[in-house]
């Protein structure tokens, strides 16, 4: 447990340093407007956007939430995954407008993107700040 706390603190500090760095800038990254259809889990959302009007899975960048179901290594991880999903659903209710930037694809074909709310709220920062993601 002590190691997990140390790892969590390390990743929080690393995230703050990374987003504070002049090398980390999304200013030049194209932004795509989207609409949340539903939350799949804490870091993956079904989002409708110009390239996929019916929606597609979007894996949010810059953080990772615990695994759910059979992919979880223990009951505690499953519980933390559920908490992360619930938190994400509060941040991203069905129909919520989002901005997608820093776009790419992962090896599973999912769209990778930095996800922010119209007011500039960064979803990664919110989940990490709540202690639900690294």
pLDDT for 65-102, tens place per residue? 998 888 878 988 899 999 999 999 999 999 999 999 99
pLDDT at 3: 52
pLDDT band at 24 (very low <50, low <70, confident <90, very high): very low
pLDDT at 130: 97
Residue 33 CA to residue 116 CA, distance in Å, equals 10
pLDDT for 92-102, tens place per residue? 999 999 999 99
pLDDT at 67: 87
72 burial type by CB count under 10 A (0-12 exposed, 13-18 middle, 19+ buried): middle
pLDDT at 69: 84
Cβ-count burial 15-48 (b if 16+ within 10 Å, e if not): beeeeeeeeeeeeeeeebebebbebbbbbbbbbb
pLDDT at 22: 40
Share of the chain above pLDDT 90, in %: 68
Residue 13 CA to residue 15 CA, distance in Å, equals 5
Distance between alpha carbon 17 and the CA centroid of its chain, in Å?
Answer: 18
Q: Element (H or E) spanning 128, and its range?
A: helix 123-129
Residue 68 CA to residue 80 CA, distance in Å, equals 8
Residue 1 CA to residue 30 CA, distance in Å, equals 40
pLDDT band at 20 (very low <50, low <70, confident <90, very high): very low
């Amino acid at each position: 447990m002590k190691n997990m706390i140390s790892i969590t603190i390390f990743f929080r500090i690393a995230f703050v340093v990374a987003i504070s760095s002049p090398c980390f800038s999304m200013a030049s990254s194209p932004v795509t407007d989207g609409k949340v259809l539903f939350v799949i889990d804490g870091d993956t959302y079904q989002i409708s956007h110009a390239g996929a009007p019916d929606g597609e899975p979007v894996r949010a960048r810059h953080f990772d939430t615990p695994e759910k179901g059979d992919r979880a290594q223990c009951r505690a991880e499953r519980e933390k995954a559920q908490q992360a999903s619930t938190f994400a659903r509060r941040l991203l209710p069905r129909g919520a407008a989002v901005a997608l930037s820093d776009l790419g694809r992962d090896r599973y074909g999912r769209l990778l993107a930095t996800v922010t709310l119209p007011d500039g709220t960064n979803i990664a920062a919110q989940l990490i700040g709540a202690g639900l993601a690294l």
